[in-house]
Chain A
Amino acid sequence: MAKSIEKMTPDEILVASKKLFFGGFALLPMLWVYNILYIWPVRNRADLSPRVRHYVLLSGILSVVMFVVFSVWFGIFVNYRLNWGVPGDTLTVVLVKGV
């Protein structure tokens, strides 16, 4: 059972934040959002390494970037997938009848 964040030592917090940050690059952008949410309760602790703040900040920036990328892709896909012919069908995977 994982320890609650309030009971972790500054080193453990640093290791957790680092894992979450680098893990996000393995095509798991949600981990960047988790990074922010996880570290949020202890962000102002005095004994925290300044590197934790950097990881959380970068995670925040990357989350916003990915949100914009996904939103733009969603808009393009939903509106143009019917015009793409065969590639559009392959990307859609499960074809909905009647549309």
Chain B
Amino acid sequence: MLSRVAISLAAVCFLASAQDTYDTIYNDIGSLPCVRLLNATGYVGCQSMTAASGVLYRADTLEDINQFANDGGLRNKYTVVIPYWLLSSSNVDILKTSKKLAAILAVVNGTDPAHAISARPTNVISPDTTCPNCEFGLYANTPNQYQWNPTGSGLLFEQFDFPIYALNTMDTRNTMSYASVMQAANRNRDKGYRDYPLKSLQFHSFMWGAQDTGACLRKGWCTPVGGASVWSTPSTNISYTDEKPIVVITAAMDSRSLFHDLTLGVESSVAGMVTVLAVAEALSRSTIPLDTMSKHIVYTLFTGEAWGFSGSQRFVQDITSSPIQCEKPPTSGSGCAYPFYSDLEFQRLNPAKIEAILEVGQIAGMGGAGGNPTLYAHVDNIQEAASTTLLKQVVQIGANGSTTVPDPTAGIPVQAASSDDVKRGLPPSSSMSFLKSRGNIPTVVLTDFQKQMSALTNHDQDDSWNTPNTFNLIQQAASVISKTAWLQAQGVSDTAAMTPAQTEAIASIQVNAELIQDLLECLSLNYSCSLVDRYLNVTASNIPPTRLPHYSGTLYSQSQPFPIFAWSFLANMTSVKNVTSPTPRVTGCSSKPATVQCNPKEYCVGDQCIVSLTRYHDAYGVGIAMNSNAEYYIKDASKPVWTESTWDPIGLRMFDVTSPGSQIAELMTGLALTLVSSGVIWYSRRFLKKTLKED
């Protein structure tokens, strides 16, 4: 009877499940971690070999951090919650040498007054190096390279052996995590960090990769960083041998920051991408059809540019090594299985025919020195004679913009970057990849800075824009680039040499201001907007995506929202328009079930069947290659070989801890009990043996 009761009690206790017990102890928090990345010489980022746990400690200012380090009464290990802008090399050193640091939580944006946007200091410091990616740029082998980011702290390239996570109130789940953590930290603070039990946070942040990319790829513990670049041209019949020159319009699609889930990069890349998309839209309405002009126009948006210009370098490498001998054809779809290419259409582009490159760099006007927004046109200073005419044309068109249509962007001047007689050369840009292959291509890079890059370069706080200035800068840049490209494509290098027909037609090149505002909003803060919904049915999903990271991600591992959108948008803008018999496009191909089936050579974009030459292109470090067994290996360690480490499930959880003193007391009590009970058992056995023997 007793045993039956015992068994049923045990069963009931077991059914009161393990999950409930877990929930009473732990509180899982959403996590935005800093992870480990590897390159040819070593690794950067955060690693935690064991689960790190620390009592939550709140430090809002530098004085708080120093007080934490000097406080002798703190006996535990602590998880320090600091505002993101206090995350600098020196502050981290202070925390580490205190020997009380378990992990750091950096708040990028929070509701607490210490973490709010209004509390952000005005002087921002870029975490990138003093010359980002310059070791892979055009001037890598020249002595005394011009440092384009002199205030850069290099935080992105440091190694941390403890977890660093971010907190940001950008959506519901993360806001709840932030609220839990702050509530717990405030309670700890109210108790003076001495009145146990206190709230503690445990981090699981174990990265598999170590040493460098070569060792890590060999062991299969990391994946190359990269994604998909997009290129598009209105000349759907372009071929390698058609002897027609090419005008390239290019921008970067990705950026980086310490916390990859938070990477936006409005200044670092999004504004440039928006400009190129707006240019494509403006040129699509040209009254002189683009595919009848004497030169081809090719739009390129590269991914992986933040990682040593991986996207543009690979693109240039591939188009200069056509034709490709495909040894193993793919099992399905296009491209080639070995050597591996997702798509082979790039072979139609002839790099020897590229006669102009127009690039849009940092254009949002944020994080700069201040002053009136101005656009600067940079050219290479090694072979500068090649770009003189193009530069003159860009500046000329920038000036003429004010005389055609009255518009607010008339106030934004376009100057040559060397207007102060200092020839700095090109800032770090994708065009460098083209120029490394052939240095005499006329190239102009438009940016909002003359002497140094934005202090928000690759910063986690590069998540906002200035309402009149940013839009005006983008609109002016798009206007200048579209008109320059339009003239260049017709072989006109001097505005004064335009034919009357061209002078009349150029007025049709109008940049759509509303489109720029929509694109900027959709691509940074709210992906489920009507513009994106027209192409990709995003609002229909369970949790409509709002803010998506602009980190390029790892190769082939996830769907890439921005390349997919760029592909759809550019495909629509460069699609063949039947000018002679303008029948409306066939619609209905995207509904389920589809009411219309597109022809084999057509794509279904925005519910219409279109013909377009818009393709993806693999983007990952050119130093990495794939062998016939579909494994990655390092082909050339002097080129970018960035990889991201695989990791064990990342997690963050909160629980109560008692004081170290009481924990030791518990241990001693347990030991004492063990000894006492062993003693009791031993003596009673001896006693019983004696008494029983006497019997």
Give A contacts to B, CB under 8 Å. 82, 85-86, 89, 95, 97-99
Contact = CB atoms under 8 A, between A and B. Distances in A.
Contact of A98 (B47, B214, B218): B47
A98 B211 contact: no
A97 B211 contact: no
B206 interface: yes
B221 interface: yes
Given A85-B214, A97-B206, A97-B208, 18 more contacts: A82-B211, A82-B215, A85-B215, A85-B218, A86-B218, A89-B218, A89-B219, A95-B219, A97-B210, A97-B221, A98-B47, A98-B49, A98-B206, A98-B207, A98-B208, A98-B209, A98-B210, A99-B210
Contacts of B211: 82
B659 to A, nearest CB: 31
Contacts of B208: 97-98
A85 B210 CA distance: 13
B489 to A, nearest CB: 51
B479 to A, nearest CB: 52
Contacts of B219: 89, 95
13 contacts: A82-B211, A82-B215, A85-B214, A85-B215, A85-B218, A86-B218, A97-B206, A97-B208, A98-B206, A98-B207, A98-B208, A98-B209, A99-B210
A85 B206 CA distance: 23
Q: By DSSP majority rule, is chain B's interface helix, strand, loop, or mixed?
A: loop
Nearest to A96: B210
A61 B209 CA distance: 44
Contacts of B210: 97-99
A86 B217 CA distance: 12
Among all A-B residue pairs, the 8 with the closest Cβ atoms: A97-B208, A99-B210, A98-B49, A98-B210, A82-B211, A95-B219, A98-B208, A98-B206
Contacts of B209: 98
Nearest to B646: A97
A86 B215 CA distance: 9
Interface residues of B, number: 13
Nearest to A95: B219
A48 to B, nearest CB: 43
A11 B174 CA distance: 82
Contacts of B49: 98
Interface in B538-553: none
Contacts of A85: 214-215, 218
Contacts of A99: 210
Nearest to A99: B210
Contacts of B215: 82, 85
Contacts of A97: 206, 208, 210, 221
Interface in B313-361: none
Contacts of A89: 218-219
A99 B43 CA distance: 12
B132 to A, nearest CB: 28
A98 B218 CA distance: 14
A99 B207 CA distance: 9
Interface string B44-58: 000101000000000
A82 B212 CA distance: 10
Nearest to B214: A85
Interface string B192-219: 0000000000000011111100110011
Contacts of B221: 97
A82 to B, nearest CB: 6
A86 B208 CA distance: 18
B42 to A, nearest CB: 12
Interface string B99-128: 000000000000000000000000000000
Contacts of A95: 219
Nearest to A82: B211
B548 to A, nearest CB: 30
A81 to B, nearest CB: 11
Interface string B220-233: 01000000000000
B92 to A, nearest CB: 21
A6 B285 CA distance: 107
B629 to A, nearest CB: 15
A47 to B, nearest CB: 44
B605 to A, nearest CB: 44
Contacts of B214: 85
A89 B216 CA distance: 11
Contacts of B207: 98
B212 to A, nearest CB: 10
A97 B216 CA distance: 10
B255 to A, nearest CB: 28
Residue among B49, B215, B219, B221 with the most chain A CB within 10 A?
B215
Contacts of B47: 98
A76 B209 CA distance: 23
B635 to A, nearest CB: 16
Interface in B211-270: 211, 214-215, 218-219, 221
A88 B218 CA distance: 12
Nearest to A88: B215
A89 B219 CA distance: 9
Interface string B30-67: 00000000000000000101000000000000000000
B632 to A, nearest CB: 15
A95 B221 CA distance: 11
Residue among A86, A95, A97 with the most chain B CB within 10 A?
A97
